[in-house]
Structure 1
């Protein structure tokens, strides 16, 4: 896709339209309260959370994309000035509140930005999102898939989030006399905290800014900032440390729980370090595991794919694993031939069974 037309989660470059997949900090670098480069498209939930994240932001710049409803864009080629017609559709990515994929169709071909996503086979929300994506595609094949390759390695295989949530609840249940400290981000894993609150019929402590987010999401009555009301606390991930837990444990028996796709380590990026005696790691991940990434690529069979996470020892180029699932890119799929749409030769089906 020609640069300068569409920017997804890129805020420091010139573009004719900007798109926000979700409000996690690693996707908003360069975005600030005084940012004013152009129109910013996002989901309804992200728009509702936006003022609390960026106070003073010019909200007239926000354009809300309803989930599953295509929106037409008028762009102009920077190379020759030719008018370009593009449709964009936001698809639920099931990563955190407000997170979406963006599907672009039209004169630029068919391009899907997955953003961060987790589509578990047994998840009702993911099932609906998959059904919406296939409906909007309407038989068009994906020319280019920008893929969340966070856990694109066969070593990463973890359970669905509802299973991991039950594991956390079991840990809490087995330690009735302990204070429980759970490390979470400023957005995400609300479903886990709600399940814990419901399982023990108790409120969960959160810090004041997190409580505001909970209220904006309509989660009222299950969270508190009063430590005396509960033994279960959700603290910012950046505050979650062995030193913090040891200090708390010296006052009252305390146990830490880190819900993450990666094992918690006392030394950053050293995932082979011995676990701490006060910390339980539970594989509760908001990113798809390797098997789910493979299922996603197999569903779409794009002509090309590219990872959104740079390659490293953990994050591998998805082409290495999934090139055999991609369809050859024919001449007619080039943006030089926008009138010719490449139809998928694979007919994905959504089973009515979600077991």
Structure 2
């Protein structure tokens, strides 16, 4: 069975939650597949559970991500990192996390019941990117190929992509670099690149190196870059560069208060109404 997962996440047998953080007292295990804002928006400091299971990278980033909004800080005691590519024994099931090749720390989850009588074997993809790099993960790919799944819960955001080919991260950065060079030649002094709080790290790194110019990141995002060990291509001072970053919600404010141009880094305009998996 194939299910399309939206923003609601998934509840399994009323005691396992993936990317869903409600108040159901029967839920014993909560998994977070990514630090993406879509999945973290329901996490607040008032949320109570035994813990949040996630990848080691997400565990490092989650305190920074959650600190952006007052009252949403996630205490360290709730965060329980699980290593990738190995089975973890839980109460009545086991789980494996596999690199989803998306935002840093993003994982797919394989959940398997002890006797496969109730849970069966479930693959939850979350956000993922199935490009050449994804297929270089020999261990994760071998597990996906050798397992027969009773249920596949797949993120279908781009299943109805209307373009001929989904661009690679490097080609996207080259195209953006060419656009920035053109704007610079036309006298544009400041350009803001719209990015989420987490994600687009490879794009921004490639863009910085293409232009041989550092990119300004706001404090939280600069801290994330430092945690990931890629802050050398970025700056926390706007005076160092003419390329800034902003969130999508900040775009209108940037346009109204500055003379900046904004580059939107999303393929969503090329997605039609999703009907393929309904």
TM-score normalised over the length of structure 1: 0.65
Q: CA RMSD in A?
A: 2.3
3-state SS, counterpart of residue 46 of structure 1? helix
**Superimposed CA distance per residue, residues 87-138 of structure 1 (whole angstroms, 9 cap, x where no aligned partner):** 2111111221111110112332110000011112x3x2x1234x33342247
**Contact 2:215/2:241 (8 A) holds in 1:** yes
Q: Kindly indicate whether residue 110 of structure 2 is the aligned counterpart of residue 103 of structure 1.
A: yes
For residue 231 of structure 2, give the secondary structure of its aligned residue in structure 1: coil
Task: Please tell me whether residue 163 in structure 1 is matched to residue 171 in structure 2.
Answer: yes
- Look up the match of 2:96: 89
CA distance in 2, matches of 1:143, 1:198: 44
C-alpha distance 248-8 of structure 1, shift in aligned 2 (>3 A): same
**What displacement does 1:222 show?**
2.0
**Residue number among 196, 199, 218 corresponding to 2:229 in the alignment:** 218
Matched, 1:60 2:77: yes
Q: Structure 2 unaligned segments of length 5 or more: list them.
A: 1-10, 68-72
1:168-227, Cα deviation, whole Å (9 max, x unpaired): 111112233422211111111011111121122221112122212211221222222322
Does 1:45 pair with 2:57? Answer: yes
Task: Point out where structure 1 has 5 or more consecutive residues left out of the alignment.
Answer: 75-83, 264-282, 284-288, 290-312, 320-355
In the TM superposition, what are the counterparts of 1:95-134 in structure 2 within 5 Å? 95-106=102-113, 107=116, 108-120=119-131, 122=132, 124=133, 126-129=134-137, 131-134=138-141
- Residues 244 and 140 (structure 1), Cα distance of their counterparts in 2 relative to 1, 3 Å cut: closer
Deviating beyond 6 angstroms after TM superposition, the runs of 4 or more aligned structure 1 residues are none
Q: 1:152 to 1:222 in 2, by over 3 A?
A: same
Displacement of 1:237: 1.6
Larger-Rg structure = 1
Structure-1 separation of matches of 2:150 and 2:33: 20
Q: Please tell me whether residue 232 in structure 1 is matched to residue 191 in structure 2.
A: no
> Size of the alignment, in residue pairs?
253
User: What is the distance in 2 between the residues matched to 1:232 and 1:96?
Assistant: 21
What SS does structure 1 have at the residue aligned with 2:85?
coil
CA displacement at 1:245 relative to structure 2: 3.2
**2:273 counterpart of 1:314:** yes
Matched, 1:144 2:151: yes
3-state SS of 1:216 partner: helix
Matched, 1:194 2:153: no
3-state SS of paired residue (2:143): helix
Equivalent residue in structure 2 for 1:25, among 17, 37, 51: 37
Secondary structure of 2:249's aligned partner:
helix
SS at match of 1:238: coil
In structure 2, relative to structure 1, the CA distance for the partners of 1:224 and 1:134 (3 Å cut) is closer
Q: Which shows bigger deviation, 49-58 or 35-44?
A: 49-58
Q: CA deviation at 1:256?
A: 2.1
Distance in 1, matches of 2:44 and 2:173, equals 34
Aligned: 1:11 with 2:11: no
Question: 2-side partners of 1:164 and 1:2: how far apart?
Answer: 37
Aligned residue in 1 for 2:4: none
SS of the equivalent of 1:315 reads coil
Q: Helix, strand or coil: the match of 1:111?
A: strand
- 1:19-60 Cα shifts (integer Å, max 9, x gaps): 001112211232112322123210011100122233553323
Aligned counterparts of 2:233 and 2:256: Cα–Cα separation in 1: 27
Displacement of 1:315 in angstroms is 2.2
The 2-side partners of 1:204 and 1:137 are apart by 37
TM-score, with structure 2 as normaliser:
0.82
